[in-house]
Amino acid sequence: MSGKAHRKSHHPAHPPSKHLPKSQTIEEMVQAREPDVLKAAAAHPGMTEDIALAFLTRRDLPPAALEALTKNGSVMKHRRVMAAIVAHVKTPRHVSLPIARHLYTFELLQIALTPAVPADVKMAVEDAITMRLESISIGERLALAKRGSTRIAAALLFDKEPGVMQAALVNPFMTEVWIVKAIMSQDSTVALVGEVSHHAKWSLRKEIRIALLKNDKTPLGRVLAFAQSMSAPVLREVLATSRLGAKVKEYLTKELETRKSYQLKLGS
């Protein structure tokens, strides 16, 4: 009996977890696969900026580890770590979005342009950038117009500075859909409509031409040119659904009447 008791005394009631060996270094811990070890590594006081950035390249990090990292003051003072946490696919939204508000505009832009970033995070980041547009310099807006994502460039189509608006039009991510939206918007400007109506690329697109025909800010000369390229049903739809100036309506009506008269002559 006493022998058994003696043998039991060598086994503590609560042995240390095999997942958290005390002998592991921070470098070893960040290479682990066990969630508990990864969470402990994230909270480790020995975590450095370089180790954290390498750690954040792992796509298999558990959300708990990422959240623990955001509470590690030794690395959260580094902006690159903050940005990498926001961009990580596994970071919980309630963790990443508050951090994003503290990043600089072009740090946010880099996140928005990173393919692996989840769509909802990209959208939130783009929204954060567009909310700053009125408070940043012309130079920054010009850079955003040239390099920004589609939604950012689309927001800059309404910029008061012609150079910024023009740069947004040639942004490599710009699409026909967003230009049509801008032209049809109540916020469309005379400058934007005029620029698009003469643009070497966009003024050739059918849907954009239709949008321009429906906008009363489009120069009359361009209206005449675009109307010539449209079918009669399209012109009738423009007349029926648009608030156009009297001159434009008069011209489009005459254009339709002329075509109808021509068709009747051909038929006879």
Give Cα 116 distance to the centre of its chain.
Answer: 12
State the pTM of this model: 0.79
CA 42 to chain centre: 29
CA distance 191 to 211: 15
**What is the spatial distance between Cα 6 and Cα 130, in angstroms, rounded to a whole number?**
72
Residue 102 has pLDDT above 70, yes or no: yes
The mean per-residue pLDDT over the stretch 28-35 comes to: 95
Spatial distance between the Cα atoms of 265 and 268, rounded to a whole number of angstroms:
5
Distance CA 100, CA 246 (A): 49
Residues 191-211: tens digit of each pLDDT: 999 999 999 999 999 999 999
In three-state secondary structure terms, 205 is coil
Q: At what angle do helices 105-112 and 79-87 cross, to 10 degrees?
A: 30
Q: Is the pLDDT of residue 259 over 90?
A: no
Q: pLDDT tens digit string along 144-197?
A: 999 999 999 999 999 999 999 999 999 999 999 999 999 999 999 999 999 999
- What pLDDT is stored for residue 75 in this prediction? 96
Q: Are 27 and 6 in contact (CB under 8 A)?
A: no
| Tokens 């699409």 sit on residue | 175
Coil vs helix vs strand at 3: helix
The whole-angstrom separation of Cα 35 and Cα 43 is 13
Least confident of 7-16, 56-65, 139-148: 7-16
60: CB partners within 8 A, 6+ apart: 33, 90
